[in-house]
């Protein structure tokens, strides 16, 4: 008969705390090995794994759980069990495990599942909002979710699903902030995408890591950390699991390479991205319209203005799949090229569209680009963009 153990106490005090380092507490249950153990639900194997990860002997684990060394040994060998629900719930709490792993039906599990479903829905809705030109709505959706998930992790609840959701939410928040923040604050967007990478590296999931590297690399470029951006985007392309995601990583790598004036890398990445897009029937991540803008900007940045002027005359027709912010980005870039070809009227038309759309979509970074492109040659548009930028800044400060 497996008698339920009585937790050890010393003078009525709680068991001695032998919490491992914060880093181990955060990650030890996310590894593939741990996931197999949790799926099997074998207490002995779970305890042995916990001791191995944290370098604890049976006496120390017993002190943490409130049992003596002998009982820990019996539990690990499967010669004793925790038959009462209270003991199993308490062990799960101390080891930071969801109670269902040891067969305990707990109201907290229902709350946990509801939270995951809500969080996954929030991430999806935020991405739809951002892609539809409503990045500020995406930020409003993701801020509270990230805060809630981070609080749960800080409390020691590090279920794999929670960590993955937190990584996705941080990534979405960073990318959305990259749309709505002015240039001088774009480091905040890169900060959040970097925090997503901190989690992604533990998953051993090349597809997700590639995605996180791609988004982080683009935010680094926007924050003018261009060498780091090239590094991250090159890694994203190397890890990409399919032509779709590789084309997207290469397109962004081309943009970053152009920003540092590396014509050879720009040409190589853009050429391969174009080839991949031609052979992919549908890409949800990138499209010829976006790649056209990247090529225009890269040619100008690498000193090939004439080639950019020729390319500007052959723009692909935008489709409904093109995110609204890409139309603004492309309008500013085309205006720059038209000024280089002395097409003043064409530049004015493109920048006028860009200013109006940037205000509608709340894109201060693009208004700053308009100010630079207009410069002294188009003072009226420069003034209009500057006024619109100040209006957006006042709204963000309110």
DSSP letter at 377 equals T
Would you say residue 13 lies in a domain? no
Q: Each residue of 167-182: pLDDT tens digit? A: 999 999 999 999 999 9
Whether residue 314 sits in one domain with residue 231: yes
How is 273-325 classified by DSSP, letter by letter? HHHHHHH-S--SS--HHHHHHHHHHHHHHTT-HHHHHHHHTTPPPP-TTS-HH
Would you say residue 210 lies in a domain? no
Q: In degrees, to the nearest 5, what angle opens at C-alpha 22 toward C-alphas 16 and 28?
A: 95
Identify the domain boundary among 53, 72, 104. Answer: 104
Is the pLDDT at 20 greater than 50? The verdict is no
Phi, psi (rounded to 5 degrees) for 375: 50, -145
Cα separation of the two ends of the chain: 68
CA–CA separation, 88 vs 7, rounded Å?
12
Please give the share of the chain, as a percent, with pLDDT higher than 70.
86
Residue 385: which of 396, 375, 397, 395 has the closest Cα? 375
Phi, psi (rounded to 5 degrees) for 10: -120, 105
Q: Who has greater pLDDT, 215 or 159?
A: 215
Whether residue 238 sits in one domain with residue 314: yes
DSSP H or E segment with residue 369: helix 364-374
Q: Domain of residue 366: give its range.
A: 323-398
| 395, two tokens | 């709204």
Is the pLDDT at 5 greater than 50? The verdict is no
Q: Who has greater pLDDT, 393 or 295?
A: 295
Identify the domain boundary among 273, 288, 319. Answer: 319
Is the pLDDT at 150 greater than 90? The verdict is no
pTM over 0.85: no
Would you say residue 111 lies in a domain? yes
Average pLDDT on 2-23 reads 42
Whether residue 91 sits in one domain with residue 38: yes
Would you say residue 116 lies in a domain? yes
Give the pLDDT band (50/70/90) at residue 106.
low
| Mean pLDDT value across the chain | 85
Q: Each residue of 241-275: pLDDT tens digit? A: 998 899 999 999 999 999 999 999 999 999 999 99
Q: How many domains does the chain have?
A: 4
CA–CA separation, 190 vs 23, rounded Å?
22
Highest mean pLDDT among 66-70, 142-146, 235-239 belongs to 235-239
Q: What is the CATH number of the domain that holds 83?
A: 1.10.260.40
CA–CA separation, 175 vs 209, rounded Å?
15
Give the pLDDT band (50/70/90) at residue 53.
confident
Q: Who has greater pLDDT, 127 or 103?
A: 127
Highest mean pLDDT among 2-16, 74-88, 109-123, 362-376 belongs to 362-376
Identify the domain boundary among 276, 292, 319. Answer: 319
Residue 362: which of 395, 384, 337, 332 has the closest Cα? 395
The pLDDT of residue 270: 95
Ranges 41-50, 152-161, 380-389: which has the least confidence: 152-161
Phi, psi (rounded to 5 degrees) for 126: -65, -40
The residues, any chain, with a CB within 8 Å of residue 260's CB and separated by 6 or more, are 226, 227, 230
The residues, any chain, with a CB within 8 Å of residue 65's CB and separated by 6 or more, are 7, 15, 72, 90, 91, 94
């Amino acid at each position: 008969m497996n008698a339920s153990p009585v937790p050890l106490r010393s003078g009525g005090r709680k068991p001695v705390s032998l919490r491992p380092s914060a880093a181990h507490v955060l990650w030890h249950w996310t590894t593939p090995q741990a996931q197999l153990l949790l799926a099997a639900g074998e207490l002995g194997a779970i305890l042995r794994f916990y001791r191995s990860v944290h370098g604890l002997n049976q006496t120390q684990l017993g002190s943490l759980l409130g049992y003596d060394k002998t009982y820990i040994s019996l539990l690990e060998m499967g010669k004793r069990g925790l038959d009462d629900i209270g003991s199993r719930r308490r062990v799960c709490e101390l080891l930071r495990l969801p109670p269902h792993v040891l067969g305990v039906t707990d109201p907290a599990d229902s709350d946990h599942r509801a939270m995951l479903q809500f969080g996954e829905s929030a991430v999806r809705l935020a991405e739809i909002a951002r892609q539809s030109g409503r990045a500020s709505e995406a930020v409003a959706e993701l801020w509270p979710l990230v805060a809630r998930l981070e609080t749960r992790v800080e409390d020691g609840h590090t279920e794999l699903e929670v960590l993955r959701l937190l990584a996705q939410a941080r990534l979405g928040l960073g990318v959305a902030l990259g749309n709505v923040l002015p240039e001088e604050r774009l480091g905040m967007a890169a900060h959040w995408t970097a925090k997503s990478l901190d989690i992604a590296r533990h998953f051993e999931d090349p597809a997700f890591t590639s995605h996180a590297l791609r988004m982080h690399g683009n935010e680094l470029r926007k924050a003018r950390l261009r060498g780091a951006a090239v590094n991250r985007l090159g890694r994203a392309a190397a890890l990409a699991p399919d032509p779709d995601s590789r084309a997207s990583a290469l397109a962004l790598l081309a943009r970053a390479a152009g920003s540092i004036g590396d014509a050879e890398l720009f040409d190589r990445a853009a050429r391969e991205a174009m080839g991949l897009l031609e052979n992919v029937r549908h890409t949800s991540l990138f499209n010829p319209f976006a790649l056209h803008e990247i090529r225009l900007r890269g040619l100008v940045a690498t000193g090939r203005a004439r080639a950019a002027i020729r390319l500007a005359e052959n723009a692909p027709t935008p489709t409904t799949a093109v995110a609204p912010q890409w139309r603004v980005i492309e309008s500013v870039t085309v205006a720059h090229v038209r000024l280089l070809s002395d097409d003043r009227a064409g530049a004015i038309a493109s920048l006028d569209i860009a200013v109006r759309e940037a205000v509608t979509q709340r894109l201060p970074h693009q208004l700053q680009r308009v100010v630079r492109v207009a410069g002294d040659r188009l003072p009226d548009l420069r003034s209009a963009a500057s006024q619109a930028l100040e209006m957006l800044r006042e709204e963000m400060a309110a």
